[in-house]
Structure 1
């Protein structure tokens, strides 16, 4: 019995050491921030990092002052180690559709010890603003945000933009990433799936490695969003069955050797959500495969509790202000999310 206990403790220790072992930055990566290697994500110190957090600062809903306070106080207190900041290009609708507010949000996240991902929402689904977004990212003020926070900031080029084909998705992102690198943006880049509003993983399996290899920094993470096109095995369907399986297809993406994250998913309770899965199962599969994730959202309106952690944006993370999702996810991240070592 004693020998078994010693062996068990040895294996646990070895597992902890392997998770915290440092990986050298590849020679071709010339940045100072997060990087990918062999399908995994590493922080600037070379320690493996699995993001667990929320989409946040949603520009169309809620109180600006409260959302700024959430970024500085309630999100870090919730245990999250990462946030995806929902914004748009300058001049678009929303209080954070400008470099000043975007910089403020990124800086607040960094000061709170949370890894920020900044995204642009203008070209969601079939909106034809992809070129506008590229021009915005490569403008002087936004390049400076990327450069100043290169050590921490992830750049999510365009939210859920639909492309006419897998080849168009591949070619557009190869050209855009090349332009980013030529402009001196060395941050880790995140790109969304390019069909079904970010939900189709087939472009990743077909051409993900081509996009990754075409990046001079080879520093690209692929983000899949999970809503109505995804299912878990516990669900049954009659008129239509979602084509993608959380248990099979999400695991297959990781097993293909690609650096994968779940950029968005919602909760399946209470009734009204259009997803076709058990949300707890997503977290289970992600944990098994060391896939990071971002719940949609920290707050997206009290009328849709399956899209929010909080019932009210200004209420904080007190139990009385948490939705069903918040009551599950906050204890989960407090137990499982590891802060990036760069903040230690």
Structure 2
């Protein structure tokens, strides 16, 4: 969408994560896949996107929004990332945090490189080939996340100029990702600023799908002014369904500068056909399209009229969303790190008033993400967790706790909002850190405070 590109990164602030109660995803051996033209999750159950887009690359401090989006009823979120060609690059630690936020809030995560928007017409846009370079750079973070993450190669990867090149460039991008070892379901955006008014994606969809050796990709159309009648919406989406090809509506709005899309027909048709949709966008729009905000100023208590329609209206998110079945159980998910993550290590003293379990949830070259779950054995007003690293690890950033280090010794103290726990209640805090090769898990000790 061309006019929303005036959004800036002026609101980027220090990364803060909201209070999360630990949700362990169910164990899944494989990721999403396409069966008979439909998206199924790692347990073999149909999954239908009912969610929104989050402008993360421009507002990296708004990670609490993932919990808010889930609380509003969504089962999925499409996340704006940057390869660094047009906006500040989304680095590995930040990407790992995004994935952790999605999983902690039972959201299926569609990750997209936004720098490709309008390539061929927008001079600053990155190519799909450059987007693939970014994904390969992030491969260590993404490995093992196939049951929870889909890769949207690049957002709206062609404008209205030279869009005929889209087919060859898309095929090459898919080939490169598969050759690099990616097993994720791939999401393919349409040309023409995502709206495919030329039917380039529609008419080449079967060729593109058959070119994927994994046969594991889904097409993504963005519905704005081109789709201002129910007949146009139904015709476009039914083409894919009738052909047995997977399709989703990765962006749409209730209004736009290029025309007034029929959002009621988009929602009704998607529900009737059982295909996914993700509305644009949670908050932070600028450049004259502020009316596309679903909430005002990232405040979930102030839904806009568009937000009320999408979340609470007929065929909307609250009425139709179902949580992915991979989140139904309690077994730990596969480790996303190149080497197996250590098992959580509880403290040995059950009489201490609280216990702590330490886990490495992600790891990449020279860095890692850790999480500690604190469980109250009795009612407590606060907690303190301590441990000692044995391999020279260092904490670089933390959330949901005040974390300090003295040499290899680490102390984490609760925030004001997550210290008061009833017996049996749990909370968690997380952090990113550095390591120099070996990354053994320490044994934490929890003591009540207050």
Give the superposition deviation at 1:265.
0.5
Q: Is residue 89 of structure 1 aligned with residue 89 of structure 2?
A: no
Query: How much has 1:278 moved relative to structure 2?
Result: 2.3
Structure 1 residue 165, shift from structure 2 partner: 5.7
1:266 maps to 2:253: yes
1:97: how far off? 2.3
CA distance in 2, matches of 1:265, 1:205: 18
> Which digits, 9 at most, give the CA deviation of each residue in 1:212-271, with x for residues without a partner?
1111110010000011222215xxxxxxxxxx8113222223222210000101113xxx
In structure 2, the partner of 1:162 is 158
Any unmatched runs of 5+ in structure 1?
A: 1-30, 234-243
> Aligned partners of 1:295 and 1:205: how far apart in 2?
21
User: What is aligned with 2:303?
Assistant: 322
Whether 1:276 aligns to 2:260 is yes
Partner of 2:375: none
More helix by share: 1
Q: Which residue of 1 aligns with 2:422?
A: none
Q: Choose between structure 1 and 2: higher strand proportion.
A: 2
Partners in 1 of 2:204 and 2:327 — Cα distance?
34
Q: Which residue of 2 aligns with 1:76?
A: 70
Task: Tell me what 2:102 maps to.
Answer: 109
RMSD across aligned C-alpha pairs, in angstroms?
2.1
Work out whether residues 58 and 300 of structure 1, in 8 Å CA contact, stay in contact via their aligned partners in 2. no
Q: Match for residue 238 of structure 2?
A: 251
Residue pairs, 1:290-301, within 5 angstroms: 290-301=274-285
Q: Alignment partner of 2:296: what SS?
A: coil
CA–CA distance in 2 between the matches of 1:157 and 1:117?
10
**Pairing 1:162-241 to 2, within 5 Å after superposition:** 162=158, 168-194=165-191, 196-200=192-196, 202-233=199-230
- The normalised TM-score by structure 2 is 0.61
TM-fit CA distance, 1:106:
1.5
Cα distance in 2, alignment partners of residues 143 and 339 from structure 1 = 26
The TM-score with structure 1 as length reference comes to 0.78
Residue correspondence of structure 1 range 3-42 to structure 2 within 5 A? 32-42=30-40
- Whole-angstrom CA distance in 2 between matches of 1:221 and 1:290: 14
8 Å Cα contact 1:91-1:98 kept in structure 2: no
Question: Cα 1:266–1:44, aligned 2, differ >3 Å: closer, same or farther?
Answer: same
Matches of 2:203 and 2:209, distance apart in 1 = 12
Aligned residues: 289
Cα 1:306–1:280 change in 2 (3 A) is farther
In 2, the alpha carbon distance for the partners of 1:85 and 1:119 equals 6
- Does the CA contact (< 8 Å) of 1:177 and 1:215 recur in 2? yes
Q: Distance in 2 between matches of 1:133 and 1:327?
A: 34
Structure 2: which 5+ residue stretches go unaligned? 1-28, 329-450
Tell me if structure 2 keeps the 8 A contact 1:150–1:186.
Answer: yes
